[in-house]
Amino acid sequence: MLPVYDSGAAAGLFAGVLFGFALESAGFGSPRKLTAQFRLSDWSVIKVMFTAVVVCAIGLYLAELVGLVRPNGVFVPTVFLGAIVLGGLLVGAGFAMGGYCPGTAAVALASGRLDAIAFILGMVAGTAAFAAAFQPLKDFYFSGQGPQGQTLMDLTGLPEWVILLALVGAAFGAYKAGNHFEKKFGGPLTAKQVVAGTGERAPDQTNSVPKETFKA
Amino acid sequence: MSPSVRPYWPPLAAGFALGLALLVTFLITGHGLGASGFFTRVAAALSGWLAPVWAQANGYFGPFLQANPLAAWISWEIVGVLIGGILGAVSSGRFKAMVERGPRASSLNRLLMAFAGGALAGIGARFARGCTSGLGLSGGATLAVAGFLFLIGFFVAGFIASYFLKKAWT
């Protein structure tokens, strides 16, 4: 019966190598590619994340259905309403500004990106600042606690397969919207453009190119 | 530009690979993938060396310093992420040492923005008790309400902040 609950060094290394290789292969070692999601010209972040969530969620559902995984056998985080929403907002703003989130900064560092070092130093500094201010923040940090490990099924009362079906549908919609906007705004950054560095005109700029040419 | 740069995987393929990696992680460990937890432990360890009295007494870092804060699963996982990232980047010709920045941003400007963004993300991940990997991706895959709440906040703030930061990247 799974999971085997092995969180040893070998398990960590193995999971990390898969994680890092997949993120790098998706192009997530590039801050320009990552942030292009928010300029709507490159939808890789939403497409890849949505696909991964759906694939893993369906995998866990099926594994439990056939008795491979014990029910409620995996860790499900608990809601702390204020802190989780504020945390999401801050990580999102930090991502738009700094070009990374914690995991992609590690992959960027592994890809040779020196700016990832600055982002990582910033994270460590931010974490220390949070710790320094922890005492007065404590009430807010624990506020709005929801039921232990609450899932969308608990929240809505719907069966898991309905939630999964809705997620597949939403992912489909996200791909369609993404393809539409990518076409409109010049398309996703390619590996060649990323490796070429800043000299290469980013695709988000292609729209403004003719205007500038006319002025000249 | 080197002609030997291999393209990224298409998003669908990369998403499947990432989803399977996450699934395997759940089946082995019972929990998902993470990242910010490691940097929290680095911050706790550094504080423990630089200001041991303060850090031991601190309500957040104190519990981490009961033992070696870096002796944890997530440390091995991040070492693995670095190895996996290097393998992917080097084998595909995508490894390049550079300050990656928008065409209008100076390197110094980019490094300062990266630091500031990192600080925001570091604070945010401590509030949320996880980051895009641990809460968004891993929490989302367990269909946790907390994971989707985090993702909503992440994307809302990302789009708003990005609107004001366009010049930094294009």
pLDDT digits (tens, 9 = 90+) for B47-90: 999 999 999 999 999 999 999 999 999 999 999 999 999 999 99
Distance CA A187, CA A46 (A): 14
Mind spelling out the 3-state secondary structure of chain A?
CECCCCCCHHHHHHHHHHHHHHHHHHCCCCHHHHHHHHHCCCCHHHHHHHHHHHHHHHHHHHHHHCCCECCCCCCCCCCEHHHHHHHHHHHHHHHHHHCCCHHHHHHHHHCCECHHHHHHHHHHHHHHHHHHCHHHHHHHHCCCECCCCCEHHHHHCCCHHHHHHHHHHHHHHHHHHHHHHHHHCCCCCCHHHHHHCCCCCCHHHHHHHHHHHHHC
Nearest-by-CA chain A residue for B35: A103
Closest in A73, A77, A138 to B129, CB measured: A77
pLDDT at residue number B103: 93
> Given CB atoms, is A181 within the 8 Å cutoff of chain B?
no
Q: What is the mean pLDDT of chain B?
A: 96
Whether residue A25 and residue B8 make contact (CB cut-off 8 A), yes or no, is yes
pLDDT of residue A127: 98
- Answer yes or no: are the C-beta atoms of A12 and B82 closer than 8 Å: no
B50 at interface of A, judged by CB pairs closer than 8 A: no
10-residue stretch averages of pLDDT, chain A, 216 residues long: 95 98 98 97 98 98 96 96 98 98 98 98 98 97 97 98 98 98 96 84 48 42
Smallest CA–CA distance from A193 into chain B, residue: B1
Q: Is A159 left (phi over 0), alpha (psi -120 to 50) or beta?
A: beta
**B58 contacts A12? CB cut-off 8 A:** no
pLDDT in tens, B102-129: 999 999 999 999 999 999 999 999 999 9
Average pLDDT for B29-41: 97
For chain B, give the percent of residues with pLDDT over 90: 97
The residue ranges of every structural domain in chain B are 33-97, 101-170
ipTM above 0.95, yes or no: yes
- Give CA–CA dist A133/B47, Å, rounded: 14
B111 touches chain A (CB under 8 A): yes
Q: Do A89 and B8 touch (CB under 8 A)?
A: no
Amino acid occupying residue B169: W
Single out the residue of A177, A149, A116, A97 nearest to residue B120, CA to CA.
A97
A1 touches chain B (CB under 8 A): no
pLDDT confidence of residue B3: 59
Is the minimum CB–CB distance between B133 and chain A shorter than 8 Å?
yes
pLDDT for position A198: 79
Which residue in the set B136, B145, B161 is minimally distant from A49, CB to CB? B136
Q: Does the beta-carbon distance from B102 to A32 stay under 8 Å? A: yes
Q: Quickly tell me which residue has 């007494």 as its tokens.
A: B57
HSE-CB at A134 with a 13 A cutoff on CA atoms is 16
User: Could you count the other beta carbons within 10 Å of the beta carbon of residue A93?
Assistant: 25
